[in-house]
C-alpha cells in the first residue's frame, strides 16, 4: 500500500454514494451429498468393524454383494 499525498488528485466515480452499504456475498450451496465421515489417518482402525462387512443378498454370506457373488442363485 502506498501513502496518498494529495487527496485532490483522487477522482471518485460520479455514481458513488458514501451512504451505501456493502452486502456480504451470497453463499452457494454445494451440489451432492455431504461428507459424513472424516478421512481416517493411516493405521487407524474403523470405529465399528461390522459397518464395513457386506452381506450378499443372493447367498447371505458376508464379504461380497449380489453383483460379485460367485455362488449359484438361491430362490
60 within a domain of the structure (yes/no) = yes
| Tally of domains in the chain | 1
Share of the chain above pLDDT 90, in %: 1
How far apart CA 67 and CA 58 sit, in angstroms, is 9
Give me the chain's average pLDDT, please: 76
Residue 16 lies in a domain: no
Q: Residue 14 falls within a domain, yes or no?
A: no
| Residue 13 belongs to a domain | no
pLDDT one-digit tens code per residue, 37-63:
666 677 766 666 555 678 888 888 888
DSSP codes, 22-38: PPPPPPPPPSS----SP
* CA 40 – CA 46 distance, rounded (Å): 8
Could you tell me if residue 65 is inside a domain? yes
- Residues forming beta bridges with residue 55, ordered by sequence position: 62
Residue 55: which domain range? Answer: 48-75
Amino acid at each position: 500500500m502506498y501513502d496518498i499525498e494529495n487527496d485532490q488528485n483522487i477522482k471518485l466515480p460520479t455514481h458513488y454514494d458514501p451512504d451505501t452499504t456493502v452486502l456480504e456475498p451470497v453463499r452457494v450451496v454445494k451440489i451432492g451429498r455431504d461428507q459424513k465421515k472424516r478421512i481416517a489417518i493411516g493405521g487407524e482402525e474403523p470405529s465399528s468393524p461390522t459397518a464395513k462387512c457386506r452381506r450378499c443378498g443372493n447367498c447371505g454370506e458376508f464379504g461380497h454383494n449380489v453383483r460379485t457373488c460367485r455362488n449359484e442363485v438361491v430362490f
